[in-house]
Copies of this chain bind each other. A is one copy, B any other.
Amino acid sequence: MPSRRRGEELEATILEAAWAEIRENGYQRLTVEGVAARAHTGKQVLYRRWPNRVRLTVAAIRHALGPLVPEVPDTGSLRGDYLAVLRAMAARARHYTPELLYGLLSEMPEFGGEVFATLPEVITPILRNAAARGEIPTADLPERVAALPLNLIRYEGLRSPGAWQVLDEAAADRLFAEILDQIFLPLVCRPDC
């Protein structure tokens, strides 16, 4: 008979079970009973740690995807840097099916804070570097402008959710290029760029 698991080990098993259930059946059909069964444990063990289904799900996502904020890229150009950020975001977004994202937001609107973060920790340094290189006249952009590509990408993901799941890397890059070249760069660069 296998020994009983505890603490970290048990917790990790449960969160991985939850994440597996989500990937296989989606969030709507995620049941606490199902997760418990898959982790070979009882419901009470889950409810001892998370107060309800939503919070369990959030914990599972965080466990599976790791920290939200990506590294600050330094590719030598504003375009390259921002592109790197968009790629990192898209990689993360690929795990959010529409059904999962909307389901979570409907039951826990404050989760939006996590999903819609403006990421100044990343964007501000990028803009400062660009200004130092002389690519843009000033790094001091209104937040709405600084986060524009970020927001547009996210909007794209909300608007045609599921799109990330089928978009190959080349197609995603084309989308990023469109947003950067048609909208963001014309808006922030000195006229001659």
Contacts and interface: CB of A to CB of B under 8 A. Distances in A.
Interface of A: 27-28, 98-99, 101-103, 105-107, 109, 112, 116, 142, 144-145, 148, 151-152, 154-155, 158-162, 178-179, 182-183, 186-187, 191
Contacts of A105: 98, 102, 106, 161
Given A103-B106, A109-B161, A160-B112, A186 B187 contact: yes
A137 to B, nearest CB: 13
A71 B158 CA distance: 26
B182 A142 contact: yes
Contact of A109 (B99, B109, B112): B99
Contacts of A183: 144-145, 148, 187
B145 A182 contact: yes
A103 B105 CA distance: 8
B161 A158 contact: no
Contacts of A161: 105, 109, 112
Contacts of A116: 158-159
Contacts of A152: 151-152, 155
| In the A-B complex, the 3 residue pairs with the closest CB atoms | A102-B106, A103-B106, A102-B105
Contacts of A178: 142, 144
Contact of A112 (B106, B159, B187): B159
A191 B102 CA distance: 41
